[in-house]
């Protein structure tokens, strides 16, 4: 969404004060660019005030919240400071503030910045029609990686952590939540107050407001959802979250954030889930896919230790958050659901990794774990499956060097205890690993030929070693057998159809099978016809993660008898993860006019950012008349205000249609 003018940042792209080089404000309050900058950060506490009412001339703005431990005497009057706004990149500007010369070294001080931000990449405003209940408007923020600089002025780098407090004013009947450890509500004033008592990086400050109601699902967990979704959310998660938290604590030590609540957001939420401390954001669309819901929530639980407590100091090493969280997620699922299930999910994700590798090429620099962030490159563009799965494989390799996963768990507990509430670089992790296992250091394990730590971090291409998934063979072998039966010539459709009842399969088995069919598409005409005959009606009754893959197979094979199912699916979807892959497939093949017709009918139910992304897909490669027609249809007043978009909306070189993953 296009930002509007900000008094502090005239002419800036998003009205916020970005980093130097990747997020730190410049000037006397500059944050040191250090792997462990947080403890010595010049910011001890960040305090802000938000209102969803526009500022009116002559009406005072909301009050500035007070600091929990106010370092400035009340008798000291504030003085104006000189500042300037300097160009940085197309995703922000740098705010430089000059401090008084009378300020003594190491003397605590406060800087008060009054600013306005309305429409910005971090802030998503939804009309009631874009919610499930269609009753009230909704707003949420999404700060990762560098969007929160458009929400509030900040040191927008993971190297800097601070506590924060906030006052939020909202209309009656609107529930406001933030990623904070403490909150209060003043009904007469209509204001909420929040306080996060532990230091966090700027990207983890999150806010949501809407028609949300709570329910307890455990001794330290609530679920928040629109009223029409609450019973479903309760039935899916009641008792489960506490089980996952307890399993994580047994592996990695105490859960330090107090509460672990979950809020389900409308389908416009641009990603699947976000690990905001104390309050995980998750897209409501995932509720119908039990196994994906389990994995996604457990992954966010794991971030409570890896990413939130200990954070990557630079965006160039996001694997320190995502790779470790993925490893921890799989340790938790092994403890709670068994090794076979974990191996099945891992096989599904590694398939997706190799699919992405095939697209990008093995020499692509984004496949490195230590990606070089060139000046001006938005860190959000570095998010890819290598961050998760190649990072996971390296962590798995380290665990295997110990000879026992339990010994590695003990190391990770010590790592968390040593570095919690700070930010680290890879060398911190690896040095700690070798110090914890001196026998491995004596063996120079970090320099083992072909598996050097340096090679893991800086070599392009696939992981140097992948995990042994043989414990999942009882679940993966039937998938491989069925895929072989359907793709071996000559086709024996009777034998293939009668070999297994996929209704008895786990979701991850079915999506793994369908993904492999997708990889092999277009399929011979006889094969796609018989597949439809055997499975189409059955798949119609399964969850959206399964249905979208079958519909992609229909589209990639131009199988017209089932195209009506594609239309019906898109007419009932408002989620990016269930619309973009199909539109990309439709427009890559021969069905662009079919896609355009569906879009004509459904565009008003889509968020403006999603609408613009689909517009870009539809107009690429269309003949001039169709392109003009599409542009005319989409140039409605609501779409016209969307001049910019957050990184999620970019139609990047890596199309979702070729990745086939939801998170």
* Binding site, annotated residues for Zn(2+): 299, 303, 322
Task: Please classify residue 508 by burial: count the beta carbons closer than 10 Å to its beta carbon, then call 0-12 exposed, 13-18 middle and 19+ buried.
Answer: buried
Distance CA 481, CA 418 (A): 47
Q: Is the dihedral of CA 367, 369, 375, 377 positive or negative?
A: positive
> In the numeric block, which tokens belong to residue 100?
């008084």
Point out the annotated binding site. 299, 303, 322
Q: What is the Cα Rg of the chain in Å? A: 25
Tokens 């050097």 locate to: 452
Query: Helix, strand or coil for residue 182?
Result: strand
300 has catalytic annotation: yes
CB–CB of 348/508 below 8 Å? yes
Distance CA 124, CA 450 (A): 47
CB–CB of 272/282 below 8 Å? yes
Distance CA 45, CA 165 (A): 8
DSSP state of 375: T
* Cβ contacts of 60 within 8 Å, gap of 6 or more: none
CB–CB of 71/109 below 8 Å? yes
What is the number of H-type helices and E-type strands within the chain? 22, 17
State the catalytic residue, choosing from 300, 316, 317, 648: 300
Query: Helix, strand or coil for residue 117?
Result: coil
Query: Helix, strand or coil for residue 470?
Result: helix
CB–CB of 238/160 below 8 Å? no
CB–CB of 111/100 below 8 Å? no
CB–CB of 131/575 below 8 Å? no
CB–CB of 409/306 below 8 Å? no
CB–CB of 142/180 below 8 Å? no
Number of CB atoms found within 10 A of residue 565's CB: 18
Output the DSSP codes for 408-426.
Answer: HHHHHHHHHHHHTTEEE-H
State the catalytic residue, choosing from 192, 198, 388, 419: 388
Beta-ladder partners of 183? 194
First to last CA, the chain: 23
Secondary structure of 485-519 in HEC code, one letter for each residue: HHHCCCCCHHHHHHCCCHHHCCHHHHHHHHHHHHH
Determine the distance from the C-alpha atom of residue 582 to the mean position of all C-alpha atoms in its chain, rounded to a whole number: 21
> In the numeric block, which tokens belong to residue 474?
């009882």
Of 207, 187, 210, residue with least CA distance to 196: 207
Distance CA 256, CA 427 (A): 25
Distance CA 465, CA 380 (A): 27
> In the numeric block, which tokens belong to residue 524?
């011979």
Distance CA 165, CA 202 (A): 12
Which whole-number Å values give the CA distances from 432 to 156, 256, 413, 428, in the listed order? 27, 21, 12, 6
Tokens 């055997």 locate to: 534
388 has catalytic annotation: yes
DSSP state of 263: E
CA dihedral (617, 621, 624, 630) in degrees, to 10, reads -20
Catalytic residues: 300, 388
């Amino acid at each position: 969404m296009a930002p509007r003018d900000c008094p502090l940042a005239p002419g800036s792209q998003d009205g916020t004060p970005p980093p130097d080089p990747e997020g730190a404000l410049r000037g006397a309050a500059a944050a040191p660019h250090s792997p462990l900058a947080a403890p010595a950060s010049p910011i001890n506490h960040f305090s802000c005030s938000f209102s969803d009412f526009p500022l009116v001339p002559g009406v005072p703005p909301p009050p500035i919240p007070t600091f929990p431990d106010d370092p400035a005497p009340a008798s000291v009057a504030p003085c104006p400071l000189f500042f300037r706004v300097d160009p940085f990149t197309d995703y922000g500007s740098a705010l430089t503030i000059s401090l008084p010369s009378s300020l003594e070294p190491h003397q605590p001080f406060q800087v008060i910045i009054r600013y306005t931000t309305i429409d910005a990449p971090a802030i998503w405003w939804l009309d009631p029609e874009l919610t499930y209940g269609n009753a009230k408007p909704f707003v949420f923020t999404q700060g990762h990686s560098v969007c929160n600089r458009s929400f509030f002025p900040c040191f927008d780098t993971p190297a800097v952590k601070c506590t924060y407090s906030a006052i939020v004013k909202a209309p009656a009947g609107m529930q406001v939540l933030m990623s904070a450890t403490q909150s209060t509500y003043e009904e007469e004033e209509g204001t909420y107050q929040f306080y996060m008592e532990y230091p966090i990086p700027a990207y983890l400050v999150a806010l949501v407001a809407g028609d949300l109601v709570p329910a307890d699902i455990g001794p330290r967990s609530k679920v928040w959802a629109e009223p029409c979704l609450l019973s479903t959310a309760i039935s899916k998660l009641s008792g489960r979250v506490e089980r996952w938290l307890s399993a994580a604590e047994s592996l990695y030590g105490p859960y330090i954030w107090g509460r672990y609540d979950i809020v389900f957001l409308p389908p416009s939420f641009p990603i699947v889930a976000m690990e905001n401390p104390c309050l995980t954001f998750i897209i409501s669309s995932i509720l119908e896919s039990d196994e994906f819901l389990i994995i996604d929530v457990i992954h966010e639980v794991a971030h409570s230790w890896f990413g939130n407590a200990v954070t990557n100091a630079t965006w160039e090493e996001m694997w320190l958050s995502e790779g470790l969280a993925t490893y921890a997620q799989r340790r938790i699922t092994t403890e709670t659901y068994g090794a076979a299930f974990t191996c099945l999910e891992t096989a599904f994700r590694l398939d997706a990794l190799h699919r992405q590798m095939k697209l990008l090429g093995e020499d692509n620099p984004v496949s490195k774990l230590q990606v070089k962030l060139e000046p001006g490159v938005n860190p959000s563009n570095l998010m890819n499956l290598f961050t998760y799965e190649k990072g996971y494989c390296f962590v798995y390799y380290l665990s295997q060097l110990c000879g026992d996963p339990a010994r590695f768990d003990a190391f990770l507990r010590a790592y968390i205890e040593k570095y919690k509430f700070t930010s680290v670089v890879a060398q911190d992790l690896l040095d700690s690993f070798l110090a914890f296992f001196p026998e491995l250091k004596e063996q120079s394990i970090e320099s083992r030929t072909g598996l050097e730590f340096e090679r893991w971090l800086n070599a392009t291409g696939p992981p140097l070693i992948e995990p042994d998934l043989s414990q999942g063979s009882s679940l993966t072998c039937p998938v491989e057998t069925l895929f072989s039966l359907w793709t071996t010539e000559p086709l024996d459709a009777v034998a293939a159809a009668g070999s297994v009842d996929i209704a008895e399969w786990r979701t991850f088995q079915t999506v793994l099978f369908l993904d492999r069919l997708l990889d092999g598409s277009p399929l011979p005409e006889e094969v796609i016809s018989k597949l439809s005959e055997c499975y189409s009606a059955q798949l119609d009754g399964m969850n959206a993660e399964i249905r979208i893959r079958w519909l992609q197979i229909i589209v990639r094979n131009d199988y017209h008898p089932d195209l009506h199912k594609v239309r019906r699916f898109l007419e009932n979807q408002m989620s990016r993860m269930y619309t973009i892959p199909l539109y990309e497939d439709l427009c890559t093949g021969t069905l662009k006019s079919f896609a355009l017709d569906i879009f004509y009918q459904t565009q008003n139910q889509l968020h403006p950012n999603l609408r613009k992304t689909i517009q870009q897909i539809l107009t690429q490669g269309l003949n001039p008349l169709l392109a003009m027609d599409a542009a005319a249809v989409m140039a409605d007043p609501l779409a016209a205000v969307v001049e910019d978009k957050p990184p999620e909306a970019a139609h990047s070189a890596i199309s979702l249609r070729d990745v086939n993953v939801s998170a």
